[in-house]
Amino acid sequence: MIIAGYFLMALVGISLGLIGGGGSILTVPILVYAMGVNPLLATSYSLFIVGTTSIAGAANNYRRGFVDVKTALLFGLSSITTVFVTRKIILPAIPEVLFSNQQIHFTQSMAIMVLFAVLMLSASIAMIKNKANETRLVTADAAEPVPLIKLLLFGVAVGLTTGLLGAGGGFLLIPALVLLLRMPMKKAVGTSLLIIALNSLIGFTGDIGHFNIDWHFLITLTLIAVAGIFTGGILAKKIDGVKLKKAFGWFVLLMGIYILMKELFFTSPVH
């Protein structure tokens, strides 16, 4: 299964290169189900992998002028702080067994995977409706300035998502940057990658000391994913990204349903 996991991680990178986002949401399920990594540790590994691959994507967009560094730092302030606090303080304080009786034994690991399945379902819907959403986002008219408190609260929400589940949250960030900050779509994509990179890598530093990290394994996975991004970037010139993103959205939807059913009904509560 390890070889299969490496192959799937390459596909994650390729999907990121092809569709520009969403692929990293499969990182945690691959680590858990294909490689046997504990769900909590998998979220930590995912932060490193997603953060590193997002840096590669952000650097490419920065060279093309599609990254607003100032906005990334301002918007990311609350989300970065939230991610770090979540990983350093909140997660270690959550008990391993959340609820237990004679019929139900609901663990922290099960809760992570159930929440992750819900995130996958939300992300898949966003990808399936991608074309309509992009048209609505691009044509959204600039109204009054967005209150700072609203931006800060949204940053906290993104930070909690990233901190708890190890997912980048690009499907949340891009609409926020376009609708709240009136940012052009291409610049929103590039800027979101920088925010995701900062969130993920700083969140990962919050895990140092809490986990026994297999650096050789983690760096190998990361290099495979980064190589996949560049491969996907080449393939993107020949493949219709909109149709591919919608197809990928349906795949993520099915995976989310599978994880939800597996964790709630068909899995012994031991990870």
**Rounded CA separation 225/248 (Å):** 17
- 162: tokens are 């990233």
**Rounded CA separation 253/100 (Å):** 29
Residue 160 maps to a domain: yes
What angle (nearest 5°) sits at the alpha carbon of residue 57, between those of residues 52 and 63?
125
Taking only the tens place, the pLDDT of each residue in 41-91 is 998 998 899 888 888 888 888 888 888 888 888 777 888 888 888 888 888
Q: At residue 58, what is the residue type?
A: A
- If one compares 78 and 268, the residue with the highest pLDDT of the two is 78
Predicted local confidence at residue 222, as pLDDT = 92
- If one compares 22 and 2, the residue with the highest pLDDT of the two is 2
Mean pLDDT of the chain: 80
Predicted local confidence at residue 120, as pLDDT = 84
User: Helices 69-85 and 148-165: crossing angle, nearest 10°?
Assistant: 50
Q: What percentage of the chain exceeds 70 in pLDDT?
A: 84
**Rounded CA separation 72/192 (Å):** 7
Structural domain including 66 reads 2-266
CA 98 from chain center: how many Å? 25
Predicted local confidence at residue 19, as pLDDT = 65
Predicted local confidence at residue 217, as pLDDT = 94
Predicted local confidence at residue 269, as pLDDT = 46
H or E segment and range at residue 109? helix 108-128
**Rounded CA separation 270/23 (Å):** 27
Residue 271 maps to a domain: no
Q: Does pLDDT of 229 surpass 50?
A: yes
Residue 8 maps to a domain: yes
Q: Does pLDDT of 267 surpass 70?
A: no
Predicted TM-score of the model (pTM): 0.79
DSSP-derived letter for residue 146 is P
Residue 175 maps to a domain: yes
Phi, psi angles (nearest 5°) of residue 244: -65, -40
Q: Does pLDDT of 133 surpass 60?
A: no
Count the domains in the chain.
1
**Rounded CA separation 66/254 (Å):** 33
Taking only the tens place, the pLDDT of each residue in 145-159 is 556 777 788 888 888
Virtual torsion, Cα 127, 130, 132, 134, nearest 10 deg: 140
SS3 183: coil
Predicted local confidence at residue 129, as pLDDT = 77
H or E segment and range at residue 157? helix 148-165
Predicted local confidence at residue 215, as pLDDT = 93
